[in-house]
A and B are shown apart, each in its own frame.
Chain A
Amino acid sequence: MKAFEVIHPGIYTMIQDLGRPGFMKYGVPASGVSDTFAAKIGNRLVGNQPGAALLEILLFRLELLALDDLIIAVTGGDLSPTIHRTPLPMWQAVSIRKGDRLIFKGRKKGFRAFLAVRGGFEGPKFLGSRSVFARGLMGEPLKAGQILERENEILGPPSPRGLPPEMIPDYQTKEPIRVMLGPQEDRFTPQGVETFLSSQYKVSPQSDRMGYRLEGPKIEHVKGADIISESIARGAIQVPLDGNPIIMLWDAQVSGGYTKIATVISADLDRLAQVMPGDQLRFQPVSMEEAHRALREETERLQRAEKSILG
């Protein structure tokens, strides 16, 4: 079943689902939606499985033509979605008509929006997932003229109400990103660790779903930045010899030979999806117990949100 024709493909719009965990031992990153809360809520709003494929949209310019009457939901960062010059309400299921043009006019808050369509987007599956990962020859970003089809994996009725405003994530928070130090914290001087934890870092334009390169005060190593290559967990912060940290993210390589000073806790990864080049980040160290508690809170926040949508 047809859903949309792509009039303008936007910056780097792609189909994502919850990714392909379990293939890292074959060198394949898990990929998957960058902001899991926004994606799962988007799918729930239109009555899909929370892991249905949707569009991950950057910044602005995407323009889609509806080829059928559709039920959609836009969540995540506010990129000013509009239909016929009227702002499209976000975080709720909306009916649109065949012939409607959906345009993302520009960023107001956050960085990435998610477009869910009732039924879920169709797309080629690689290793069990529709997540596009072009470097791994697994799909490509949208192209002008492309026809987007939808599946028919519906779970229930669309939500009669949107997500309550107080449950919408605050994408402008200046709270520090929480990290656990290690695994190679001892390869940095005490001054180097102090620099990392006390400084502001700017997200460089050379950042993408593989990793965010950060610019700021240089982090000092004890002696050299090389280790014997080992696995890289999502959120790990590598520091090569130049002293500039790199946060390894959704499409990152699975192994590498640079020292890692810390790892962003799982509960804060969604927030990184809504950070854009030029934004400033600070880091705050937490214990493993705090990291686990934060993940539990994050999971409960999602459950509460799902419950309030489904009623």
Chain B
Amino acid sequence: MIEFENRIDPGINLAVRSLGAAIEAEKIQGVGEVLPTYRALLVTYDPLQIEYRDLIGKIQSCMGKARQIELPPRRLFRLPTVYGGPYGPDMQRVCELTRLSEEEVIRIYSEARYLVYFIGFICGLAYLGGLPEKLRVPRLPTPRTLVPAGSVGFAGGQANAIATDQPSGFNYIGRTFVTLYDPREFPPIPFVAGDEVIFPPVSEAEALKAKGRRAEDFR
């Protein structure tokens, strides 16, 4: 585990991703997974194939190269989202906590661009940053045991659009029907760290038209 400064920040995350890309480009014998997160990079390795000391040496030489590395171009996904009503079980709670009207919550949330910091949790959950300060609300006191795939929500300073049905303690205010996870495809999820996502508000009918369509179609 290679640790960076201990906070959530786009610049720090960029440094993490750059080092990850540099290590991957090196194709070091014995290295398995290279996993960037907010402020740490996990590199798994087989000690029977590469000595720890040699690995550290190689990673140190990658640190210099990381500055010049070219990351994949940033892509912007526009995921049509239906807000409130049955699709936003926590809209009321968010309005009360932020003292904003439903229209204001939707406007503020959907005008922001969210940076994909990394993909994790289970089955392609995108950890999104860039949530406007006005929408900073805590997690639910008790997490929901099942939140449907495509739910769009936030908690603390983080946002997400969950890719498969799963438990979550985030506040969910809307839903997108775009397919965010398909294990029959490669890659199974549409985003990579460094991409951006927005959630434009649409009618229920419009949102449902995206059902079964890939996120690639909404760039």
Contact = CB atoms under 8 A, between A and B. Distances in A.
- Chain B binds chain A: yes
A22 interface: yes
Nearest to A23: B188
A138 B183 CA distance: 7
B28 interface: no
A22 B125 CA distance: 16
A126 B120 contact: no
Given A233-B42, A292-B52, A27 B124 contact: yes
Contacts, number: 100
A24 B32 CA distance: 10
A226 to B, nearest CB: 10
B1 A24 contact: no
Given A27-B124, A228-B7, A228-B39, A296 B52 contact: no
Interface residues of B, number: 38
A127 interface: yes
Interface string B117-158: 011111111010000000000000000000000000000000
B98 interface: no
A138 to B, nearest CB: 5
Nearest to B163: A27
Interface in B178-209: 181, 183-184, 186-189
Interface stretch (A61-69, A101-109, A217-225, A251-259): A251-259
5 cross-chain pairs, A with B, having the tightest CB-CB distances, nearest first:
A255-B120, A231-B42, A231-B35, A292-B47, A27-B124
Interface of A: 21-29, 126-127, 135-138, 183, 228-231, 233, 253-256, 288, 291-292, 295-296, 299
Interface string B157-188: 00000011010000000000000010110111
A231 B121 contact: no
B20 to A, nearest CB: 8
Contacts of A21: 32-33
B38 interface: yes
Nearest to B120: A255
Given A22-B32, A126-B183, A136-B164, A27 B40 contact: no
B88 to A, nearest CB: 24
B48 interface: yes
B183 A254 contact: no
A136 B33 contact: no
Contacts of A135: 122-123, 164, 166
Given A230-B37, A299-B48, A27 B122 contact: yes
Contacts of A255: 37, 118, 120-121, 127
Contact of B48 (A23, A229, A254, A296): A296
B60 interface: no
Contacts of A292: 47-48, 52
B121 A127 contact: no
B183 A137 contact: yes
